[in-house]
Amino acid sequence: MIIKTAEYLISSPSYKDCPKPDMPEYAFIGRSNVGKSSLINSLANNEKLAKTSGTPGKTQLINHFIVNKDWYLVDLPGYGFAKVSQSQRKSWEKMIEDYLRKRENLVNVFVLIDSRLTPQKIDLEFINQLGEWEIPFTIVFTKSDKNTQLETSRNVKAFLNKMRETWQFLPQHFVTSAVKKTGRDQILALIAELNASFRGIA
C-alpha cells in the first residue's frame, strides 16, 4: 500500500462523537510511552501527524486520522495510565471500552508491546480482555532498534509463550522499529487486505 495522504480529522471524547462509520477503521493502542505516535507517523510517512511526547499519557481522546481518503487510523489513549486521578482513569477506561465494543466499522486493533521488556502483566490482561470481548487484534512489538536482535526475539518469544498459557491460537504479530521502518510494509499490507475484505472485494 502506498500512502498518498494522511490527515488528522477529529479528537472525540466518546465513540458517539466519532466520524460516520462508513470506512474501515484500525485502532492503535498500548501502554503509555510504548512508541505509538512514532509508529503511526512511520506508517503514515508523516513525522508530524500524531504528536509524539516524552510525557506518558498525552493522548486523552479518540483521535481519528484519514488515510488515502479511504480508511481511518485511530490513536487511542494508552492503558496503564500515566499519573492521573482514579476518576480520570475510570472515565478513560470506559471511553476505550465503549469505543472498542461499540464502534461498528472497527476492523482490527493493533496492540503495541514494548519489545525491550519481558512480558508485562498489564499487556497480557488487556489482550485477554480483547479476547473476552471477541475483538480482532494484531500484536505489534515496538522499538526493536533499541535492543539487540537476540534480546528482541527473546522478549517476543517470551511474550507469545506467556499468551500460549491461555490462548489456543495466537494472533498475527509484527516486530517493528519506527526509526528503521521495520514492519511498516507488512502492517500496511495487512490493512490493505482487511480493507478489501471489509468492502467485499476479496
Query: What is the band of 12 on the pLDDT scale with cuts at 50, 70, 90?
Result: very high
Residue 1 lies in a domain: no
Query: What local confidence, expressed as pLDDT, does residue 60 receive?
Result: 79
Query: What is the band of 86 on the pLDDT scale with cuts at 50, 70, 90?
Result: confident
Q: Which three cell numbers stand for residue 188?
A: 500496511
Q: pLDDT (tens digit, 9 = 90+) per residue, 126-183? A: 999 999 999 999 999 999 999 999 999 999 999 999 999 999 999 999 999 988 999 9
Residue 34 lies in a domain: yes
Residue 128 lies in a domain: yes
Q: What is the mean pLDDT of the chain?
A: 90
Q: Could you tell me the residue range of the domain that residue 13 belongs to?
A: 6-198
C-beta of residue 118 within 8 angstroms of C-beta of residue 108:
no
The distance of Cα 128 from the centroid of its chain, to the nearest Å, equals 15
**How many separate domains does the chain show?**
1
Q: pLDDT (tens digit, 9 = 90+) per residue, 17-69? A: 999 999 999 999 999 889 998 999 999 988 878 875 555 555 678 999 999 99
Entry pTM = 0.92
- CATH number, residue 70: 3.40.50.300
Residue 20 lies in a domain: yes
Query: In angstroms, how far is the first alpha carbon of the chain from the final one?
Result: 15
C-beta of residue 175 within 8 angstroms of C-beta of residue 156:
yes
Q: Which three cell numbers stand for residue 153?
A: 526475539
Q: pLDDT (tens digit, 9 = 90+) per residue, 94-120? A: 889 999 999 999 999 999 999 999 999
Q: Strand 173-175 vs strand 137-142: parallel, antiparallel, or unpaired?
A: parallel
Residue with cell 481518503: 69
Backbone angles phi and psi of 111, in degrees to 5: -95, 120
Residue 49 lies in a domain: yes
